[in-house]
Amino acid sequence: MATEQKSCAHIDGVKDVRPPARRECEECVKIGSSWVHLRTCQSCGGTRCCDSSPNRHASAHAKSSKHPVIASAEIGERWLYCYPDDAFAEY
Protein backbone atom coordinates (compact mmCIF):
# COMPACT_ATOMS: atom_id res chain seq x y z
CA MET A 1 0.00 0.00 0.00
CA ALA A 2 1.32 3.46 -0.87
CA THR A 3 2.44 5.50 2.11
CA GLU A 4 0.26 8.53 1.29
CA GLN A 5 -2.85 6.37 1.47
CA LYS A 6 -4.02 5.85 4.98
CA SER A 7 -7.26 4.21 5.83
CA CYS A 8 -9.46 4.23 8.92
CA ALA A 9 -12.23 2.19 10.50
CA HIS A 10 -14.89 4.35 8.79
CA ILE A 11 -13.48 3.70 5.32
CA ASP A 12 -12.83 0.05 6.12
CA GLY A 13 -16.52 -0.21 7.04
CA VAL A 14 -17.63 0.82 3.54
CA LYS A 15 -18.16 -2.46 1.75
CA ASP A 16 -20.25 -1.37 -1.22
CA VAL A 17 -19.55 2.18 -2.33
CA ARG A 18 -22.77 4.11 -2.87
CA PRO A 19 -22.92 5.76 -6.27
CA PRO A 20 -24.49 9.22 -6.69
CA ALA A 21 -28.24 9.06 -7.29
CA ARG A 22 -28.04 12.29 -9.29
CA ARG A 23 -25.11 14.30 -10.57
CA GLU A 24 -25.97 17.53 -8.83
CA CYS A 25 -25.55 19.03 -5.37
CA GLU A 26 -28.92 18.68 -3.66
CA GLU A 27 -28.26 21.75 -1.49
CA CYS A 28 -27.00 24.00 -4.31
CA VAL A 29 -30.02 23.11 -6.42
CA LYS A 30 -32.28 24.39 -3.60
CA ILE A 31 -30.52 27.77 -3.40
CA GLY A 32 -29.77 28.13 -7.12
CA SER A 33 -26.01 27.98 -6.63
CA SER A 34 -23.34 26.08 -8.54
CA TRP A 35 -20.53 23.69 -7.65
CA VAL A 36 -17.14 22.47 -8.83
CA HIS A 37 -17.03 18.77 -7.93
CA LEU A 38 -19.51 16.38 -6.37
CA ARG A 39 -19.14 14.00 -3.43
CA THR A 40 -21.55 11.31 -2.26
CA CYS A 41 -22.09 10.69 1.46
CA GLN A 42 -21.58 7.01 2.22
CA SER A 43 -23.89 7.10 5.24
CA CYS A 44 -27.05 8.52 3.67
CA GLY A 45 -26.27 8.51 -0.07
CA GLY A 46 -26.77 12.27 -0.49
CA THR A 47 -24.64 14.02 -3.11
CA ARG A 48 -23.18 17.44 -2.27
CA CYS A 49 -20.45 19.79 -3.43
CA CYS A 50 -16.74 19.63 -2.60
CA ASP A 51 -14.46 22.02 -0.71
CA SER A 52 -13.45 23.75 -3.95
CA SER A 53 -17.09 24.79 -4.42
CA PRO A 54 -18.35 28.07 -2.97
CA ASN A 55 -20.76 26.45 -0.52
CA ARG A 56 -18.81 23.33 0.56
CA HIS A 57 -21.97 21.43 1.28
CA ALA A 58 -20.30 18.00 1.56
CA SER A 59 -18.05 18.98 4.46
CA ALA A 60 -20.83 20.99 6.12
CA HIS A 61 -23.04 17.91 5.93
CA ALA A 62 -20.29 15.66 7.31
CA LYS A 63 -19.89 17.96 10.32
CA SER A 64 -23.55 18.57 11.07
CA SER A 65 -24.78 15.01 10.57
CA LYS A 66 -21.60 13.18 11.67
CA HIS A 67 -21.48 11.19 8.47
CA PRO A 68 -17.72 10.64 8.13
CA VAL A 69 -17.09 9.14 4.69
CA ILE A 70 -17.70 10.54 1.22
CA ALA A 71 -16.88 9.11 -2.19
CA SER A 72 -16.05 11.14 -5.25
CA ALA A 73 -19.10 11.41 -7.49
CA GLU A 74 -16.96 12.43 -10.45
CA ILE A 75 -16.86 10.09 -13.43
CA GLY A 76 -13.61 8.12 -13.51
CA GLU A 77 -12.69 8.87 -9.88
CA ARG A 78 -12.77 5.98 -7.45
CA TRP A 79 -11.78 7.14 -3.99
CA LEU A 80 -13.15 7.56 -0.49
CA TYR A 81 -12.36 10.25 2.05
CA CYS A 82 -13.01 10.34 5.80
CA TYR A 83 -13.43 13.83 7.26
CA PRO A 84 -12.76 13.18 10.97
CA ASP A 85 -9.64 11.09 10.27
CA ASP A 86 -8.48 13.01 7.17
CA ALA A 87 -8.02 9.58 5.58
CA PHE A 88 -8.06 8.81 1.87
CA ALA A 89 -8.38 5.50 0.05
CA GLU A 90 -8.82 4.43 -3.54
CA TYR A 91 -11.05 1.51 -4.36
CB of 48 to Zn ion, least distance (A): 5
* C-alpha–C-alpha distance, residues 54 and 52, integer Å: 7
Amino acid at 47: T
Rounded to the nearest whole angstrom, what is the least distance from the CB of residue 15 to Zn ion in the complex? 15
Is 67 a binding residue for Zn ion by CB under 5 A? The answer is yes
Does 55 participate in binding Zn ion (rule CB under 5 A)?
Answer: yes
Contact between 24 and Zn ion by CB under 5 A: the answer reads no
Cα atoms found within 13 Å of the Cα of residue 55, Cβ hemisphere only: 18
**Residue 78 C-beta: closest distance to Zn ion, Å:** 18
| 19, 40 Cβ separation under 8 angstroms | yes
Nearest residue (CB) to Zn ion, 29 versus 78: 29
Beta carbons within 8 Å of 29's beta carbon, 6+ residues apart:
none
Chain contacts with Zn ion (rule: CB under 5 A) = 8, 10, 25, 27-28, 35, 41, 43-44, 49, 55, 57, 67-68, 82, 85
